[in-house]
Amino acid sequence: MLVIPVSFAAPFAYITNIVGNSVSVIDTADNTVVTTIPVAGNPYGVATSSDGKRVYIGNYGTGKLSTIDAVNNTIIGSAVPVGTRPIGVALTPDNSYVYVANYKSHNISVVDTSSNTVIKTIPAGQGAAGVAISPDGSRVYVSNYDANTVSVIDSSTNTVVGSAIVVGTAPLGILVSPDGTRLVVANSEDDTVTVIDTSTNLVIGTVVVGDRPIDLAITPDSRRVYITHSDNDVVHVVDTASQKVIAVIPVGDRPIGLDITPDGSKVYVANDNSDSVSVIDTCTNTVTNSIGVGNRPFAFGNFIGPVDNFIVGGSASGLIGNVILQNNGSDDLNVNVNCSFSFATTLVDGSAYDVSVLTQPANQICTVTNGSGTIAGANVMDVNVTCVPTYTVG
C-alpha cells in the first residue's frame, strides 16, 4: 500500500525568499499568504516535519539552520551553525535528524532536532547540493553538483557507503519515490533526469527534458514527476512508467523549487525572478493561480506541510463521464477526470475506510480495488477506480 506519513496541521507552503530574508507562508486551501516570517541569512533550502510542528530552513549566506515553529509560525531557538553555503535540507521520517548539504564545504551536517546541535559532519562529494531520505530512513542520498555524482549515506552509522553513483552534469534536485524503489536526480547542465534503482544503486534510465532542470517532485501515487526548468520558465511532467515527458507547463520567470500537496492535486512552483508562486492543477496540468511572495523565492526542498489527520484517495482510469464515489457510505465525491482524487473528510488514525461506487457513469461500469482497510498512521492514496464500457447484447 502506498502511504505517506502525515498528521497535525492544514497544508501550508513555506516559501523561502533568498534576497527578502523571509519565509512566506501560503495556506494551500485558498492560496493566500497568511504571514511572512523574517529569516536572516539568505534562506534557501527547506524541509517540513511529518508531524506538522516544525519547518527547517537552510540559510545560504550565513551557513546556519533556522527552525520555525509551524504552530504559531515563529522562529524558535538560535540558528545552528552548519557548513558553508548550505542548500539542500531533509528530515528523517521520525523527525529526529535533519541532514543539510553544504555546497562550499562539500559535506553533510547531521543535526539532532531534540538538542538542535550538529552531531556529525559527513564528507560528501564536491559541491554537495540536494538531499533526499528513503521512506524507511535508512539511506540518505546527496547530489554532488561539482562531482556529477550521488553519494549514499547509511543513516545508522552516518557514513558514506559504496562508490558514488555517476549521474549527469551538475545534479541538483533529488528525490526518492514514495515506495523507496527509485531515486530521481535532476542534472542541471546536461538537461537530463537520471533514474536509479535503489536496490542496486545502478542507473536504469536517463530522460531528456528541458533546459536546466533544477528541482523535482513526485506525485503520491508515483505516476508523475514534475521538474522545474529555470532557463525556459516551464515545468516538465514526466510519466514514470514510460519515462517520457507528457506535458510542458509555462510558469513564472526562473522557476526553482516546487512541491506537491499531500493529496497530489496541486503543484506549487517558486519563481525566482517573478517573486511569485505558480499553482498547477495536476489533473489538467495548467496553472490555476499565481501568488505574490517575497523577494526572489527559491523554496528548494519539501516545503508543503502535512494535512490534519489522514487522506483517503487514489486515481481513476478509463472514465468517460462522471462517477460518484462514497467513503464509508457518505462523503460523496464526484469524479469526472482520469486523475487523482481524494475525499474531503480526513480520518483519524485507526479509522476504517471503505470506498464504493454510489452512481455509475452513463454507459460504463466502474469498479473499486484497494478500497477498504484501516488507517495506519498514514495517508492512503492507492485506491483504484477502473471504468469500462457497458455493451448491449442483441
Given a cut of 90, whether residue 244 has pLDDT beyond it is yes
pLDDT for 290-313, tens place per residue? 999 999 999 999 999 987 788 899
Residue 391 confidence (pLDDT) = 75
Given a cut of 90, whether residue 392 has pLDDT beyond it is no
User: Are 242 and 199 a contacting pair, CB within 8 Å?
Assistant: no
Sign (positive/negative) of CA torsion 190, 193, 198, 202? negative
Which value, to the nearest 10 degrees, does the dihedral of the CA atoms of residues 103, 105, 107, 112 take? -100
Q: Which position has the grid cell 541538483?
A: 172
Residues 6 or more apart whose Cβ sits within 8 Å of residue 157: none
Region of residue 211 (left: phi > 0; alpha: psi -120 to 50; beta: else): beta
Radius of gyration of the CA atoms of the chain, in A = 21
Of 100-109, 228-237, 385-394, which range is least confident? Answer: 385-394
In eight-state DSSP terms, residue 19 is T
Output the pTM of the full model.
0.89
Residue 357, phi then psi, degrees to nearest 5: -90, 120
**Neighbouring C-alpha atoms within 13 Å toward the C-beta of 49:** 20
User: Are 240 and 266 a contacting pair, CB within 8 Å?
Assistant: no
Sign (positive/negative) of CA torsion 383, 91, 52, 41? negative
Strands 312-317 and 300-302: unpaired
Q: What is the largest CA-CA distance in the chain?
A: 77
Residue 339 confidence (pLDDT) = 84
Residue 307 confidence (pLDDT) = 78
pLDDT > 90 fraction of the chain, expressed in percent and rounded: 86
pLDDT > 70 fraction of the chain, expressed in percent and rounded: 97
